[in-house]
Chains A and B, each alone.
Chain A
Amino acid sequence: MGMTAVEIILARKSGKKEVRPGDVVYPDPDFMMIHDGVVMGAKRELDALGIDRLAAPDKVVMVTDHDVIYGSARAAERGAFNREAARLWGVKNFFDVGRGGHGHIFPMESGMLLPGMFYFDNDRHATNAGAIGAFGFRMGTEISRVLATGTNWVMVPQSVRLKITGKLRPGVHARDLGFHIATLIAQGALETDLDYRVLEYAGDLDQFSLAARAALCSSPTEMRAYGVFFPPSQEILDHAAARAKQPYTPVYPDADAHYEADLKLDVSALEPQIALPGGVQNAVDLAQVSGKRIDHAFIGSCGSGMYEDLLAAAAVLEGKRIAPHVRLFVAPGTEESVKRMAREGLMQVFVEAGAVLLPAGCGPCNDAVIGPVHSGEVSISTAANNNHGRFGAKDAELYLGSPATVAASAVAGKITDPRTVSGNW
């Protein structure tokens, strides 16, 4: 019997001919990532044990993306601690403030993360790696063991296959599809439990760009998937080949691989979706909540922070102003996207529209360190999730939509179908 894509990656990185779900393996990662919010905890934990040397400092990637512009003295202190930690540990791949951007976007964009790779990450949104055909494995606080020893135990997860048929209609975004998939799973219409599973996409996937694939990694993660995987298309292979600075081997699942569940979904009739407050799995057709007045809007996050997402929003915003009672925050995924926005005129579109540009990174989606909502306010965003209190007051109403939907809603001041406004959406 063959192996799924992630089983092949884990076998290869663990020096094994084959692995099966439930096996415990110790993969040798291509790199290991730790973000600014957890460096202090890991450093103090290792220091207390007398561990002051890392197993492979050259493989460690430190990223400042969760609290980029220090809205508090505590954040500034943490930033200083992190820089000293990088120096003491000898970590050269330190993408500090203004140097890289979102840790789950810039490595794919820049060619650091390539098809077939495996890496450890403290953060659960490492699942984004599946967009480029790689596997990122969340360690949480156990990232300290990875830093100290170079690896950690991984129990090979079960894989679930979802075959996509049909094409999304114009104006319907991959993020809409992600909300829809989460909702079908929550309702039992797609029969699976994603807890610690890998969701492997199959079927009509050529329609999905790298940004669309990242968007489709997001919602399954909120449904507790531990990995998401797209077999790389020619477009993805070309992207990787143009940027790679080291050898890599793309991975595709074996034809006779075993999946815990084998699901199918026709996406050709899908409408733009809105995830109602409380979770990505609360999606309804946008028409059901069209006209709901909003106060706050945000475009960005690991699921919708790539240049193409910004482009989709800018196409709606071009030549328009956001409603007077709305504040719109835009957090580009990467510093490269910020430069490109300036070069290609998107910056002008956002600023002229009245949006506030945030530094590349997580934006409000990280614990409301920036641009939060107040009690009773209504927000629409592309955040990773809209669990109550995700970015501010617990009784604020947090809706989710695609970048185009958020932009159209910010202009109208109420939840609005992007297909009803002018623009090249």
Chain B
Amino acid sequence: MSNSLLTRRGLLKTSAVAGAGLALPTIFTSGARAFTNDPTGGTVTLGFNVPQSGAYADEGADELRAYELAVEHLNGGGDGGMLNTFSSKALEGNGILGKKVEYVTGDTQTKSDAARASAKSMIEKDGAVMITGGSSSGVAIAVQGLCQEAGVIFMAGLTHSNDTTGKDKKANGFRHFFNAYMSAAALAPVLKNLYGTDRTAYHLTADYSWGWTQEESIAAATEAMGWKTAEKVRTPLGAGDFSSYIAPVLNSGADVLVLNHYGGDMVNSLTNAVQFGLRDKQVNGKNFEIVVPLYSRLMARGAGKNVAGIHGSTNWHWSLQDDASKAFVKSFGTKYGFPPSQAAHTVYCQTLLYADAVARGGSFNPCSVAEALEGFEFDGLGNGKTLYRADDHQCFKDVLVVRGKENPTSEFDLLEVVEVTPAAQVTYDADHPMFAGGALGACNPGA
């Protein structure tokens, strides 16, 4: 090894040349493609990036089932599911733009790092032209950022934080799922009818960004209708035993407990709260109540009977009786033997919406897809009339307020829909302060 090979002058020269050749730095410089992973053969590859290990593995598994179903329907197999009820008729059941849909899967592990690594391998190794999935907001935001840089479309899975289409919104990212603000806007009127305007709320909040946005949203909405907020207490993620946070609630003067938890934390905090007998107590002459703003049926099972009579909101539920929901439940239930979860529904919709946007725009180019999705109004995917807003790439649709069933008839029949809050009531301005601080930027087609 001699040092003479790498003289300073030589190094400068090389980097100057390289720099000039890369005036437009791109992630994947390869050939003369118009955009990243332009599908050239008879197939197109989509990347399904879902949690397969860790706390959300079951939700991930359900998402994967829905993706497989969507791919089957796009390729013309099965009974077509919601393709038959979808208001846009650009898809013909022959794949996307005549290309057969194939897919790759990966494990996000519900960690930003692992999720990005998995998405990167899909883009770099498998040539995926779109990434979708996920079961937490941190992962969604991290992967959305990656897709923006790489120049592929990201169709978010289950992500409820305001930030995903708020301060961290990206031009290449799209969210079908609802968000914390919408949960609050839908829940508040129902809570007002049920519990009146003279109430004091006590918040227990998971101590990370999703928890904070939900706490902020719920507190704002309930305070607007006259409720007071006694205390906002942050709890460590995965605290396990919540007794030391729940025990002081009764003596604080509050008569409503709001649990801003999701997943395992929600199961444990709710179980603990019911175990302490909070719901049998009287405070300020009123019955003590518990609210779980974001419900997931899969997770509600973990809390068992404790969910009975407790209100919350959800993106979609299989018991809805519109044609689209019925068609989806039928084709999912026939294939797998049980009804789909809201996570399954949202990712199925996202896949269809992406395929449809490609078909309408006539190209897999992310910019064409984005243009086709922006301001797109559609119906027939189970949430009524829906708008994909151009300003922040958030879907606006009806939100369900649900209640835990007192007497479930089966292990899937845990929630009942109390009210379908119309989209107009949960719509907010694009420059709402809770969503401020970010910029969409321009769509990035990559190479």
Asked whether A and B interact, the reply is: no
Q: Which residues on A are within 8 Å of B, measured CB to CB?
A: none
Q: Which residues on B are within 8 Å of A, measured CB to CB?
A: none
